[in-house]
Amino acid sequence: MKKLVLALSLALQAAAWAQAEPSPVSPAGVPVKDYPWQALPGETNEAMERKGDRKRGERLYALCRSCHLASAGGSPDGAIPRLAGQHSSVLIKQMADIRSGARHNPAMYPFAAVLADPQDLADLAAHLEGLCLQAEHGRYDAADAEQQVAVGRALYDQACRTCHGPNGEGVRHKGYPVLAGQHHRYLLRQMTEIRDGRRPNAHREMIAVSGSHNDDQLLAIAAYQSSLLPPGKVCEAKAPNRKR
Ligand code: HEC
Ligand code: HEC
């Protein structure tokens, strides 16, 4: 009997290790073939496997500047997201999802659609990931900010931190987005859309956990997230818009 228990527990442990095995990583540092959490279409996988050329990405970014701005900082009113410093894995998936229609974005669709091939996505992602975060962005700064941030922090630590990280830094090789330094109005809109089924390309677990939060709670979480800035990724005052 003892032997059977031992054999069983060893088998269970082996299964747990097999699951914890990291997915193979491409030259660009992003997963090869499917994400651990979602099967990806061919184009997305192909872009993830390419090594991005930052210089070429910077040139291609001319297409995007009119909305996302030269700094890739987006707009504090939350209409346009900040892209600077986002993980390349997230950027590639979102661009490919937007052009395949998996994420509905009619304003940007024509611009995503003209990108010729997966190498364009890899190059743009390499350029954008290398840009630093602006310390000045759309934080929540209403009179009750301190209280909202405290409430949001508790909720975030409970339901979101395991994936999005203690500083909102996300997880690059899993495609979990950086939330730190993002405009709070954009975060709030995305969380509401994910919760309400209007952004179906999101992570299933993410959709499920956001479902247990009401609008007030999401506002508090957005206030907290936008107060985070991950160390080492923020632009020095007056430095060029580069991490290095
Ligand atoms: C006409 C304005 C416009 C242009 C031009 C544009 N975008 Fe966007 N983009 C948007 C908007 C608006 C959103 C957010 C949509 C939403 O709220 O869901 C967005 C979202 C994104 C996202 C998802 C960000 C995230 O955090 O999930 C990425 C990545 C992106 N854009 C990259 C680009 C790139 C690269 C280009 C150039 C090829 C580009 N965009 C051109 C308007 C634009
Ligand atoms: C199981 C991991 C997981 C958990 C738990 C999780 N998320 Fe996410 N979240 C993700 C992934 C993955 C995405 C990107 C989905 C996609 O590809 O569109 C995402 C996207 C987001 C976005 C949109 C970011 C952007 O740039 O567009 C926000 C905001 C967000 N999550 C907030 C939260 C909050 C708040 C919680 C807790 C209530 C939470 N997440 C819990 C994995 C998770």
Q: Which two tokens stand for residue 143?
A: 């009179």
pLDDT at 73 exceeding the cut of 90: yes
Q: Whose CA is nearest to atom 8 of ligand 1?
A: 108
Q: How far apart are the first and last CA of the chain?
A: 60
> Which ligand is in closest contact with the Cα of 112?
1
* Residue among 59, 66, 67 whose CB has most ligand 1 atoms within 8 A, to mutate: 67
**Mean predicted lDDT score pLDDT of the chain:** 84
Q: Whose CA is nearest to atom 15 of ligand 1?
A: 105
* Residue among 64, 100, 191 whose CB has most ligand 1 atoms within 8 A, to mutate: 64
CA dihedral for 135, 136, 139, 143, sign (positive or negative)? positive
CA dihedral for 238, 243, 110, 201, sign (positive or negative)? negative
**Residue 160 Cβ contacting ligand 2 at under 6 Å:** yes
Q: In this structure, what are the phi and psi dihedrals at residue 217, rounded to the nearest 5 degrees?
A: -65, -40
Q: Give residue-wise pLDDT tens across range 129-160.
A: 999 988 888 999 999 999 999 999 999 999 99
Q: Whose CA is nearest to atom 7 of ligand 2?
A: 206
pLDDT value of position 43: 84
Q: Give residue-wise pLDDT tens across range 219-242.
A: 999 999 999 987 777 887 554 455
**How many angstroms does the Cα of residue 89 sit away from the middle of ligand 2?**
14
